[in-house]
């Protein structure tokens, strides 16, 4: 069965303290790994898409990387406004339309303490 | 431009009643998705539309759940005879044709008493 597991479930960091969030997956036919940020009471906000092992994407203090079995979301010198739940999702399969459902992990709740 | 919108933002209903949840996708987006997010659970896929057709309904949990999309735009998710386990946040997302990124709306929080 295809699975997406995120760790840790929750992470508290001091402002400026860098760390990484993990997303491991056991799927066949991966066709994209996605990172989203979700603030309380809001819908997920798209951050990154990664397609192949070795690929990296960056945005401000965030960098996402991908291997054949997992992805990391590295956060460098975080600020309190980076506090949110970070969701990882994978897309499988092939279709003529190029759109398929995403399978999500349960997320990592990140808290940055001033 | 305008993002995905959903209405109502909150819905409280009594067990056994029917509810309708609405999603307005981003203009021009051909694909539309419904997901459900329960407390402590990840987002759970419900149904996917391409235009007005639903190639994948595999996530609908029971025949009490149905969805339709008209004019390649607005979608309605209907839950009949609601149960307490239906309480969750229902999220809608849309994406352009032949692209991967899904853009989410703010969700509808459904509470079944």
Give residue-wise pLDDT tens across range A52-89. Answer: 999 999 999 999 999 989 999 999 999 999 999 999 99
Whether chain A has a CB inside 8 Å of the CB on B27: the answer is: no
Q: How far apart are the first and last CA of chain B?
A: 37
Taken in order A94, A99, A100, A106, the sign of the CA dihedral is positive
* pLDDT of res. A112: 98
Cβ distance of A97 and B97 shorter than 8 Å: yes
Cβ distance of B45 and A103 shorter than 8 Å: yes
Cβ distance of A97 and B4 shorter than 8 Å: no
Q: How far apart are CA A74 and CA B44, in angstroms?
A: 25
* pLDDT of res. A1: 66
Chain A / chain B CB contacts < 8 angstroms: 72
Q: How far apart are CA B91 and CA B89, in angstroms?
A: 6
* pLDDT of res. B38: 93
A31 chain-B contacts, CB cut-off 8 A: 100
Closest among B46, B113, B43 to A106, alpha carbons compared: B43
* pLDDT of res. B72: 86
Place of tokens 């386990």: B85
Residue among B56, B104, B106 minimizing CB distance to A101: B56
* pLDDT of res. A91: 87
Over range A91-109, report the average pLDDT. 77
* pLDDT of res. B1: 59
Whether residue A95 has pLDDT greater than 70: no
Q: What is the mean pLDDT of chain A?
A: 91
- Nearest residue of A to residue B90, measured between CA atoms: A43
* pLDDT of res. A98: 52
The secondary structure element, H or E, covering residue B113 is none
Whether residue A96 has pLDDT greater than 90: no
Cβ distance of B50 and A99 shorter than 8 Å: yes
For residue A79, the distance in angstroms to the closest alpha carbon of chain B comes to: 24
Give residue-wise pLDDT tens across range A31-52. Answer: 899 999 999 999 999 999 999 9
A95 chain-B contacts, CB cut-off 8 A: 55
Whether residue A94 has pLDDT greater than 70: no
The DSSP secondary structure of A34-78, one letter per residue, reads EEEEE-TTS--EEEEEE-STT-EEEETTEEEEE-SSEEEEEE-S-
Determine which of A68-77, A95-104, B6-15, B51-60 has the lowest per-residue pLDDT on average.
A95-104
Cβ distance of A43 and B4 shorter than 8 Å: yes
Whether chain A has a CB inside 8 Å of the CB on B32: the answer is: no
Give residue-wise pLDDT tens across range B54-111. Answer: 888 889 999 999 999 999 899 999 999 999 999 999 999 999 887 888 999 999 999 9
Give residue-wise pLDDT tens across range B14-46. Answer: 999 999 999 999 999 999 999 999 987 889 999
């Amino acid at each position: 069965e295809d699975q997406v597991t995120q760790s840790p479930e929750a992470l508290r960091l001091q402002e400026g303290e860098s760390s990484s969030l993990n997303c491991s997956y056991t799927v066949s036919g991966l066709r994209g790994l996605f990172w989203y940020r979700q603030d309380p009471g809001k819908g997920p906000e798209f951050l990154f898409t990664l397609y192949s092992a070795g690929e990296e994407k960056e945005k401000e203090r965030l960098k996402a990387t991908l291997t054949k079995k997992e992805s990391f979301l590295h956060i460098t010198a975080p600020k309190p406004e980076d506090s949110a739940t970070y969701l990882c999702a994978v897309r499988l399969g092939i279709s003529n339309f190029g759109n398929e459902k995403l399978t999500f992990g349960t997320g990592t709740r990140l808290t940055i303490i001033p | 431009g305008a993002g995905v919108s959903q209405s109502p933002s909150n819905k409280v209903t009594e067990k056994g009643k029917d509810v309708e949840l609405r999603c307005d996708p981003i203009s021009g987006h051909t694909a539309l998705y419904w997901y459900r997010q329960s407390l402590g659970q990840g987002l759970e896929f419900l149904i996917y539309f391409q235009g007005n057709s639903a190639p994948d309904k595999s996530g609908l949990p029971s025949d009490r759940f149905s969805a339709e999309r008209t004019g390649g735009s607005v979608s309605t998710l209907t839950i009949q005879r609601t149960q307490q386990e239906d309480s969750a946040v229902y999220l809608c997302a849309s994406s352009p044709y032949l692209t991967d990124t899904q853009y989410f709306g703010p969700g509808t929080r459904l509470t079944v008493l």
